[in-house]
Amino acid sequence: MLQKLKAGMVVLGIATIALSGAAGATTLQQALRQAYQSNPSLQSTRAALRAQDESVAQARAGLRPSVSASATGSSQQSLDAGAGSPTNSFRASLNANLMLYDGGRTRDAIAAAENTVYATQANLRAAEQGILLQATIAYLDVRRDQHLLALAQNNVKVIEKQVQATKDRFEVGAVTRTQVALVEAQLAAAKTQLAAKSGALALSREVYRAVIGNAPVNLQAPPALPKLPASVSEAESIAMREHPALVAARFNEKAAEFDLARARAARSPTLGIGGSVDYSNSNQPPIFGGGERTSASVALTGKMPIYQGGALSSAMRSAAEILASRKANTQDTMRSVRQSTASAWANVRVANASITAAKLQIEASQAAFDGIQEEVRLGARTTLDLLDAEQNLLTARSSLASAQRDRYVATYNLLSAMGLLTVENLALGIPSYDPNVHFDAVKTAPLSGFAGGSVLDTIGDRWN
């Protein structure tokens, strides 16, 4: 029987190699790099952030002049008998306006837009860490399910040999038909488990493909676990400082403060200056306003809102409530982050304890299996007792595989809860996506393609 068990272990090793694939090899770092660089969910989130960047440029446009041109041409012909030639006219105008004072509304709008962008950047970091965590779990799930499938395959092979041996003993009258049936029932149960493990692996592979973008090939053992804080209080302190969801909540709260200030400033007077140049040309006689004319005008315009039907007061109340909501959300996020960190810390400790217990279980199950095997040889135990001991050993090995996976997942969950599941902290060897590259390029509302853009920017910046 011992020789059969050793043969079974050889089969297990061969099965594991076959399941891992013969071509190529994939490490956890490679899988994480692939997910970070190509996951479509991240691509979508990054594009949404770039669109949000433009809100700052759009708000900043309120500090700059607006220039527009218009032209109109017409031809009028009388239908009366004996009417002369048609009257043709042309008019063109160039208009420019600049807001000199608006009570700080535009500045507040710019500040609110900037803080909203910063919050969106933090949300992108949260999405990136979420994808890296999903990719890690998908990688570890495939490796675990491959190992569990190999164990199940080996178990079926061992029981098949036991069934054959029991049938041989039945032929010589050493066992009853009932014992043969019981062993065959064990084989059927083992095959059911094999089918379940095969299905679980297929599902894990599809999740891997969805998150990382390609099929898992020869997944290598994960690297050493990252270094963790010495205590849960230290982990919580890091999370309060680094977690992107909390960073985003604080920036959103700041944006709401500027929105409230902008709503209050709507009651302030405004002062603007405008100018226009008009050109007209008509073939009518000069006495009727015909001929060629050019004129220019400059106007200084001031406005003071007195009554707007209650809209200004309503806007202020709405902005104040939004700010109160954002403050409450920041507090709620702080509690959630602290709870997630503490839970992840506890899960790490549980996983470590589970691994220790699983190893002890394997040692005890192996000792029991060896003892029962000897007792079967002496006739003190039945084949069913041996199969039960073999199942206990299989369960212990499966528990260890699951516990090792759970420890990695718990560790990476803790990093995510602290806001440290990043490209830099994981040393993936690739540059992380820098959202400030696009933001810095567009936040000043550059007038690309327009020769007079720099002049208008200078005029507007003078009032900043």
Q: How is the chain split into domains, by residue range?
A: 2-59+104-267+326-461
Distance CA 442, CA 436 (A): 10
Say what the pTM is.
Answer: 0.82
Contact 174, 229 (CB under 8 A): no
Distance CA 22, CA 209 (A): 18
Best CA proximity match to 245, nearest among 365, 347, 132, 331: 331
Contact 239, 419 (CB under 8 A): yes
Q: Any idea which of 72-76, 83-87, 245-249 has the lowest mean pLDDT? A: 83-87
Contact 59, 106 (CB under 8 A): yes
Per-residue confidence (pLDDT) for residue 115, from 0 to 100: 97
Measured in residues, the chain has a length of 464
| Chain segment 368-411, per-residue pLDDT in tens | 878 887 777 777 776 777 777 777 888 788 888 888 999 999 99
Distance CA 253, CA 245 (A): 12
Contact 422, 243 (CB under 8 A): no
Fold designation for 2-59+104-267+326-461? Outer membrane efflux proteins (OEP) (1.20.1600)
Q: Which residue in this structure is represented by tokens 């080996």?
A: 154
Distance CA 29, CA 223 (A): 8
Within a 13 Å sphere around the CA of 313, how many CA atoms are in the beta-carbon half? 5
| Chain segment 138-163, per-residue pLDDT in tens | 999 999 999 999 888 988 888 888 88
pLDDT greater than 50 at residue 4: no
Cα–Cα separations (whole angstroms), residue 65 to 11, 109, 276: 79, 17, 13
Other CB atoms closer than 10 Å to residue 410's CB: what's the count? Answer: 22
| Chain segment 253-301, per-residue pLDDT in tens | 999 999 999 999 999 999 999 999 999 888 776 655 567 889 999 999 9
Per-residue confidence (pLDDT) for residue 18, from 0 to 100: 40
Contact 142, 19 (CB under 8 A): no
Per-residue confidence (pLDDT) for residue 230, from 0 to 100: 92
What sign does the CA torsion over 118, 119, 124, 128 have? Answer: positive
Hey, what are 174's tokens? Answer: 């050493």
Phi, psi (5° rounding) for residue 324?
A: -60, -40
Q: What average pLDDT does the segment 156-183 reach? A: 83
| Chain segment 324-362, per-residue pLDDT in tens | 999 999 999 999 999 999 999 999 999 999 888 888 888
